[in-house]
Structure 1
């Protein structure tokens, strides 16, 4: 649209069921849901998205959907909304047409947020019952009409089986910003993320899926900006369709599609971490940017007094997933990213919130039911973060199939085992896919996503380098971040040149990585953990958009990278290290597709009840009888050097995490030596 051309609606062409701004080749249909509005104005902007050139009232409304078709409006057109209705906070209504609002279905954004008091519906400095009449338009990004056409060629979902998956949790900017092999102008963007050096590294270590921290458009909190910090992780979404504009080197949506296409060509799936539990508008004292001004009482859960938000996310608000049009928006968003953008799955932040009904968490709730019946979404990878901060929010093992779940019990028990905290009895659960949590309701043995470090908390290297968190740089006096790190600096707090301490750290990190990659379930590693990445002891680096969080590729530990590569190659080599059926203890009825397992004392005899309660025993030996291949023996020694007696016969040691490289090839029998803080694997000859 030329900036000097006025448009008018074609009243016969508008469609209420096409949400957002949908271009059909001749013009664009605009539709937005607001059940309680009295009028909705569409604001069109010039090519720079700075000056409003026309304002039109949407001419039709059905079922709370306001809509209209504008001939001649083509891709590239910037727009926003102003919504009229009652300003009655005590009734839950916060309409204010002075505030330019972002389309919840915006596919692409132009411009950035600039914090100003005009972005608030009330007068900042007073209470939220006041009314602010300033125009927020100059400070808001604008939505952009897009053309969905893209030549995907033969690209299709990879659908890598869960049993053969290795998930790599990464950040678009952190993964690339310090990579010397990525063009400087591409660092921190999707184009850099999908560049050859990054993809080649992922292929080297056997990654089958890259799980990206939030990439949907998000907002940097005002209080962080004022402190010179940022919402680096991105768990502050405002758009569920448009990608975060700073992650686009080109500024255009197609860059994401090109990145996904390149990952797929390399055999790597793309999983998005999505935040559908809350938005960046925060509590009732937050700004009016989109949902609050469109229809606060429909989009958000409100407290009984209706004035305040009902918050079970710890962020100030909670999306009202129980509302059918809000639920539809989330389903539309998910299908859009799968069908239009070709992503392979999602990890749901604070997923317990999405299952909250009037009676509390409900595993058969509307959101989960909608996903499970959907012919598109039920067949992709779905991962839950199975908790929130509300009452009854901790739900590890409580999600329905086909969800997989982050398993913090695996993280804690594995860290504790290698720290030599106590007894052995919890480790069999973790090595066999945590059946006590997941072996029910016909769930498979791949239900547990196993990890020892994730974005939230210490990096793996920091768990062996720091006893305490060091979060002073976050500006909260060290009060933020939890204290339950189950870490051990092994003799020095932070960096050290002491060769004994460095060897101990290397051994423990290798052993923990091996535990993740040799256990039943789905392994996940945090980006950089394969190369000893440190955050200098910061266990809550959400606001650190700097060298604290960016992977330092020039000083990456290449020997440790090769450890992961060798372990993953061994995992993929034969059947049995990951199965869809839970393992069966020796003597249990044989189930098709299941492996038989037994537990040995290092002396070679079966573990007794007394052995399991022996606080001095730090070595666990697992014998796995695989129908598809030779038997395995896996030994996990958290203690000192020890002799281990293998079952009768000849065995080929294939993995020894105390060796460099860890992939070994040595035939052994009888009693063998197992090094301290070491994992070893033997295959029967």
Structure 2
């Protein structure tokens, strides 16, 4: 049988992958490595002075090489030397001169000497083997003793109840004044009581950590005197990044990570990991050989048809080949390890589309990877969030992941940026995005809404800069996106102008209020609630510096945003209608005893006291929209006004609510009345403002009487009355 284009002849997966890695046993340690095409494998036991003792390993029929070494204890350093044919024309780049990391290593220590012999090829040719020993220039695997997993969280909440907070382990506390200096920038620092107190105060119940699996910097970044700060360049899929440990790297990072997870769980905060299984830190075949390439180039990576070059759909030099059952097993084992042993509650998958490409590199939404997650008794119980694209053919897969997954919604990001800077006409798409993007997803929980993330401007920078300012990255300001959809409010960069600064604060408040009141899953980028800035850098991946670190000294100047964020998250938690588990379709609410209420579960209000109709939806000059949501117990009315001028709106009839009280708004103090406000009252919405109002429903009668012929109940408007183009929850789909 001829193998698929760009792939090596088929090999079997490990029969029992639990034997892989280093496992301490009575009297010593068992080592296992899956290298089915190797002709020999040596275990290199490394001393602290880098001297070595090599031990030959024995091969099983399934391609797993094993050896038991007596006397080995926790903290032992080791690596592998893998022998085989050097034949780049057939995807084989075996080179025993290169000491390799164990793919299943649970801890990794030391780093990469980029001036050392870390390439498997010579300087003169990518296809000629370099025979110099790399042992003194590469990281080392560490034997780790088993330990108890972290305390589990009392309750893993449904995804629609989550408020996700995306943060960087180091950057979040590197300048935190309340964290002891020796803990800043570490797992222990992130778990420090003052940090967790802030998170709980602003309403965070789910923290998503930028990559913490052991990663390395790319050679071209190091060559500029910088480093990979974000961490999207994984070397070890089972190892917590050693540099984030406050006390040591010989297994201490495992303990400290677990202690951090326990601290979050005790505070009721779930822990999600941003994981990078789509590529590794080895880059393309011209890059360093640190692990996977030396074990089996065409096994771990996708190759082009000639088997000489990497087939890159990630933009990072290589693409991990999950079409290979053994590689897919490694990914699944890694995920299971982080849940069962390290205590995490879910994952966000970087460039997730790469993981569901088949042996021909085609996208397959029924890929064995997705099937395995669904069937696994452990992994089916945690959260899975896709970054639903990669750079390859048909890589853009937004809205196609099904109801078992959530996914980042870039439609939401782009539209909301445009809405608040006044770059859209009308409010059709606003309704769709506020409702959870039913044009894309099966249910609101599938939709992760965000305005910004680690990649791009912060919220403060979105309202401070029209252009990127990336010169510190060393690429002549050519890196990073030019499509920021930002508005500097009239001045590029920071200013002392009080009017501009007031507008900027207002716009940040608008972004956060819109995000937190939208159906779906809100994701806040760390520090946005305290005015974090990257000084206009929209691609700070290489900035392990104050450009990327959260400046806590600046927090006091943005207390208005911090306080509003806390208020908004409390409102979201208190009102189920702001976080529906299913899409609403303008259905009438019926009381517990079957009495009709005349209220709808979802309605869109024009501001005239009535519901939106066709002409309203197609009015390109419209800047105001009211969203009414209700159930048997509550009603919430939220107004969104992107206009530069105040506007009068009339509250709906008493059947929608007897009175309304302003629970939060994004204007200045005193711009909205305190209330309660009677039904059908006309009020003035401030310019550029979100207003959230809580209703006071008419109590259900204790002894209801069905209406007689003389009693008329005003029905919620039907689809026909709303207009032929009104698609209920998703008006944008009518276009």
The residue aligned with 1:4 is none
Distance change (3 Å), C-alpha of 1:34 and 1:663:
farther
Q: Equivalent residue for 1:611?
A: 616
Question: Secondary structure in 2 aligned to 1:241?
Answer: strand
Q: Give the drift of 1:67.
A: 0.8
Distance across 2 between alignment mates of 1:255 and 1:58: 33
Greater CA drift, 541-550 or 54-63? 54-63
Q: Could you list the per-position Cα deviations for residues 484-536 of structure 1 after superposition, in whole angstroms to 9, with x for gaps in the alignment?
A: 11100011001011111111111111111001100111111000100111111
Equivalent residue runs for 1:544-583 within 5 Å: 544-556=543-555, 557-583=558-584
Residue matched to 2:712:
none
Matches within 5 A, 1:123-138: 123-124=122-123, 126-138=124-136
State the partner residue of 1:426: 429
Asked if 2 retains the 8 angstrom alpha-carbon contact of 1:654 and 1:663, the reply is no
Q: 1:630: which partner in 2?
A: 634
* Residue 653, structure 1, aligned to residue 662, structure 2: yes
Q: Is the 8 Å Cα contact of residues 313 and 389 (structure 1) preserved in structure 2?
A: yes
Counterpart check, 1:94 vs 2:93: yes
Distance in 2 (CA, whole Å) between partners of 1:89 and 1:379 is 42
Q: Find the counterpart in structure 2 of residue 11 from structure 1.
A: none
Q: Tell me, which stretches of 5 or more residues in structure 1 are unaligned? A: 1-13
Contact 1:559 1:660 in 2 (8 A): no
Correspondent of 1:178 among 169, 175, 179: 175
Residue in structure 2 matching 1:643, options 632, 645, 648: 648
Is 1:226 the counterpart of 2:228 in the alignment?
no
Matching of residue 389 in structure 1 with residue 391 in structure 2? yes
Q: List per-residue Cα deviations over 1:106-134 (Å, max 9, x = no partner).
A: 1011222221341000012x221111111
Q: 1:661 to 1:241 in 2, by over 3 A?
A: farther
8 Å contact kept, 2:108–2:236: no
Distance verdict in 2 for CA 1:16–1:601, change over 3 Å: closer
Larger displacement relative to structure 2 (417-426 or 428-437):
417-426
Deviation digits for residues 160-206 of structure 1 (CA, Å, limit 9, x no counterpart): 22222100000001101000111111111101010011111101001
Superposed counterparts of 1:532-547, under 5 Å: 532-547=531-546
Aligned to 1:239: 236
* Match of residue 193 from structure 1: 190
1-side partners of 2:98 and 2:278: how far apart? 24
Structure 1 length as normaliser, TM-score? 0.94
> Contact 1:300–1:318 (CA<8 Å) still a contact in 2?
yes
Give me the whole-angstrom Cα distance separating, in 1, the residues matched to 2:204 and 2:673.
22
Distance 1:504 1:324 in 2: 55
Distance 1:463 1:434 in 2: 23
Contact 1:520–1:577, Cα closer than 8 Å, also in 2:
yes
Provide the secondary structure at the position in 2 that maps to 1:43: strand
Shift of 1:359: 6.4
Q: What CA distance in whole angstroms lies between the structure 2 residues aligned with 1:610 and 1:481?
A: 40
Could you say which residue in structure 2 is the equivalent of 1:519?
Answer: 518
Name the CA distance, whole Å, in 2 between partners of 1:377 and 1:16.
Answer: 17
Checking the alignment, whether the CA contact within 8 Å between 1:368 and 1:400 is kept in structure 2 is no
**Contact 1:15–1:29 at 8 Å: present in 2 too?**
no
Given the alignment of the two structures, is residue 671 of structure 1 paired with residue 682 of structure 2, yes or no? Answer: yes
1:597 equivalent in alignment to 2:594: no
- Cα offset, 1:158, TM superposition: 3.5
1:660 shift after superposition: 4.5
Once the 2 structures are TM-superposed, how far is the Cα of residue 608 of structure 1 from its aligned partner?
Answer: 2.3
Q: Specify whether residues 157 and 62 from structure 1 end up closer, same or farther in structure 2 by C-alpha distance, changes over 3 A only.
A: farther
Give a deviation string over 1:542-595, Cα, whole Å, max 9, x none. Answer: 1111010100001112221111001001111122111211111357999x9x97
* Runs (4+) off by over 6 Å: 587-590, 661-664
- CA distance in structure 2 between the aligned counterparts of 1:667 and 1:296, rounded to whole angstroms: 69
1:414-455 deviation per Cα after TM superposition (whole angstroms, max 9, x unaligned) = 11111111221101111110001003xxxx321101110100
SS at match of 2:675: strand
Shift of 1:659: 3.7
Matched, 1:164 2:168: no
Find the aligned partners of 1:537 and 1:661 in 2 and give their Cα distance: 32
* In 1, Cα distance between equivalents of 2:521 and 2:581: 11
Q: How many residue pairs end up in the alignment? A: 662
Distance apart, 1:240 and its partner CA: 0.1
Q: CA deviation at 1:654?
A: 1.1
CA RMSD of aligned residues (A): 2.0
Does the 8 A contact of 1:167 with 1:211 survive in 2?
yes
Q: Distance in 1 between matches of 2:401 and 2:634?
A: 35
User: How far off is 1:320 after superposition?
Assistant: 0.6
Alignment of 1:367 onto 2:372 = no
Distance (Å, rounded) in 2 between the aligned partners of 1:333 and 1:663: 52
What displacement does 1:16 show? 7.1
Are the aligned partners of 2:402 and 2:441 in contact in 1 as well (CA < 8 Å)?
no
Task: After superposing the two structures, state which structure 1 stretch, 560-569 or 597-606, moved more.
Answer: 597-606
In the alignment, is the contact (CA less than 8 A) between 2:214 and 2:236 conserved in 1?
yes
In 1, the alpha carbon distance for the partners of 2:112 and 2:222 equals 11
* 3-state SS, counterpart of residue 501 of structure 1: helix
- 2: distance between equivalents of 1:263 and 1:395? 32
Deviation per CA, 1:260-315, whole angstroms, max 9, x where unpaired? 01111111111100000000111111111100001111111111000000000011
Q: Is the 8 A contact 2:153 2:270 kept in 1?
A: no
Q: Per the alignment, in what secondary structure is the counterpart of residue 383 of structure 1?
A: strand
Pairing partner for 2:691 from 644, 668, 680: 680
Secondary structure class of the residue paired with 2:461: helix
* Cα distance change of structure 1 residues 663 and 563 upon mapping to structure 2, 3 Å threshold: farther
Distance in 2 (CA, whole Å) between partners of 1:245 and 1:660 is: 47
Q: Could you tell me whether the CA contact under 8 Å between 1:576 and 1:595 is conserved in 2? A: no
What is the CA–CA distance in structure 2 between the aligned matches of 1:662 and 1:24, rounded to whole Å? 69
> What is the CA–CA distance in structure 2 between the aligned matches of 1:229 and 1:276, rounded to whole Å?
24
Equivalent residue number for residue 112 of structure 1: 111
User: C-alpha distance in 2, partners of 1:589/1:303?
Assistant: 60
Query: Helix, strand or coil for the counterpart of 1:530?
Result: helix
* 1:7 counterpart residue number: none
The equivalent residue for 1:10 is none
Query: Structure 1 CA distance, aligned partners of 2:560 and 2:86?
Result: 62
Alpha-carbon distance in 2 for matches of 1:398, 1:151: 34
Deviations 1:19-61 (A, max 9, x none): 1011124321111111110000000012x2x323310110232
Q: 1:32 to 1:604 in 2, by over 3 A?
A: same
Deviation of 1:613 after TM superposition, in Å, equals 2.1
What SS is found at the alignment partner of 1:635?
Answer: strand
Given that 1:656 and 1:664 are in contact with CA atoms closer than 8 Å, whether structure 2 keeps it comes out as no
**What is residue 707 of structure 2 aligned with on the other side?**
none
* Structure of greater Rg: 2
Q: 1:411, CA displacement in angstroms?
A: 0.7
Deviations 1:310-351 (A, max 9, x none): 000011100010111101100110000000000111100000
2:75 is aligned to 76
Q: Give the distance between the partners of 1:34 and 1:542, measured in 2 at CA.
A: 33
Does residue 1:491 correspond to 2:490, yes or no?
A: yes
In the aligned structure 2, how far is the partner of 1:684 from the partner of 1:91? 69
User: 1 CA distance for matches of 2:496 and 2:600?
Assistant: 44
